[in-house]
Chains A and B, each alone.
Chain A
Amino acid sequence: MDSALIPKGVKRCPFGLFLVWIGILQIPFLIGVIAYLVCWGLALNQTYLNNNYPFGLWIAADLGIIALGGGAFFTAFLRYIIKIDELKNIVNFATVIGVMCYAAALGILAVDIGQPLRGWHIFWHANVHSMLTEVAFCISCYFTVLLIEYLPLVLENREINKFGFPRSFAHHLHEAMPAIAAIGVFLSFFHQGSLGGVPSVLYGRPFAYREGFLVWPWTFFLFILSAMACGPCFTILITRITETFAKKQLVKRNVIDILAKISGWLLGGYLVLKIIDTISWGVSLAPSVGAPAGSFYANQPYGWWVLITEVGILGIIPCIILLSTRARQNQPLLILACLLNCAGIFMNRWIMSVQTLAVPVMSFDKFFSYHPNWAEWASTLMWVWLSAIVISISYRYLPIFPQEKELNPL
């Protein structure tokens, strides 16, 4: 039925089956839409957020999703600026993933703020000294860059590409891509870093506060590095999930291996700096405000296990796997490493946003626990389902994987 739209030389599942798949994804997606409407209509009392936890799942997810979406800018950086040519076989897919990650980040912010209709105030009345302003400007600009990077893929659809103007436009966009990618890299460095600055400029919160270089706290640089380390792993993970559903190989293993290896080295570098940062915080910054480092880990569920899990299980283990050639080429191990790496980033972002608020600062302040409720979960996960829908449609109708024909001859 839709065979005219499917790229030449590749096989896709029957249209009916595809519709069933999209239909299934729409069910949890619609639950997310209901959660959005409930939060917008009845206000944020519909969540478990409160005055002690003004930031919760939404902000942690935002920070995490943007780090995972870092695969788009970093792959583009390696492909167009460092000129690792093999990565042309995965950069398109990294862009699609990036588009959805950033759409999710903006979409989640739209429900997180108390007055969504005033969201434009962040631009209009911008406080240039606030990390959040820098984040908002850079994310919006970078989302535009990602859409521009995604545009030629859409224009290369078989039917659209028949027309002269879209074909030529896509061609010229491809030519301009290194320049556009460079702008994207510039923006990404700043907003990934600024996200690290969001909790770390809060000098009233000694758990997250860090000193740094000029206006940027040390976590500014840690966040950039960690996004570069986990973004490619997320791209690998989603590629492998797509391959599982498509029941065929879409990208050659050497391409995946390059990304995994780079990711491993960056993760290693990040972990070294993270450990130095944590130790220096523990021995100098925390005691300087009158609290031993242990007091910040005194309240369950945020005990020492949090730090050990984040750095050890979700950091050092995937790093070792990714750095070892033999382990990396073992596919189940590679998937495990990617999963651990991505989970580690999410955990780090949760710690930096939610645990920061969980730790009582005043001695007579009580510790309260927080967990998200259904509305927060549904509205956050809605973006997972929407992303699955967009990726499914993009995979079906757009030439995203250049190696697909070669790997799967008809």
Chain B
Amino acid sequence: MFPFIFDWVSDASHFVFMGTLYAVMGLLVIALHYCGIRAFFDWLCKKGQHEH
């Protein structure tokens, strides 16, 4: 799974397979964080409006 694990081989199959996997996982993490951060700022703005 990682290059430091015993039996890892730096060949095309590993790069394609693991590359796709990490790309997918990365996209999911980015999407979740993007939504979370935007929601957090929405909440901050609304909180600010209420306080004013």
Contacts and interface: CB of A to CB of B under 8 A. Distances in A.
Kindly state the interface size class of chain A when it binds its partner.
20 to 34
A165 B43 contact: yes
B41 to A, nearest CB: 9
Given A124-B5, A126-B1, A137-B21, A144 B28 contact: yes
Interface stretch (A12-20, A172-180, A254-262, A395-403): A172-180
A146 to B, nearest CB: 11
Contacts of B7: 125
Interface string A95-132: 00000000000000000000000000001111011000
Contact of A165 (B5, B32, B39): B39
What is the interface of chain A mostly: helix, strand, loop, or mixed? Answer: helix
A164 interface: yes
Contact of B35 (A129, A141, A176): A176
Interface string A136-156: 010001001100100000000
Interface residues of B, number: 25
Contact of B13 (A129, A171, A175, A176): A129
A186 B20 CA distance: 11
Contacts of A40: none
What is the interface of chain B mostly: helix, strand, loop, or mixed? Answer: helix
Nearest to B32: A148
Nearest to A128: B17
A169 B13 contact: no
B32 A171 contact: no
A187 interface: yes
B13 A128 contact: yes
A141 B1 contact: no
A168 interface: yes
Contacts of B21: 137, 141
Interface string B2-44: 0001110000011001100100110110011011101110110
Contact of B18 (A128, A148, A165): A128
A168 B5 contact: no
Contacts of A179: 27, 31
7 contacts: A124-B1, A125-B6, A144-B28, A168-B38, A172-B35, A172-B42, A187-B24
Interface of B: 1, 5-7, 13-14, 17-18, 21, 24-25, 27-28, 31-32, 34-36, 38-40, 42-43, 46-47
Interface of A: 123-126, 128-129, 134, 137, 141, 144-145, 148, 164-166, 168-169, 171-173, 175-176, 179-180, 183, 186-187
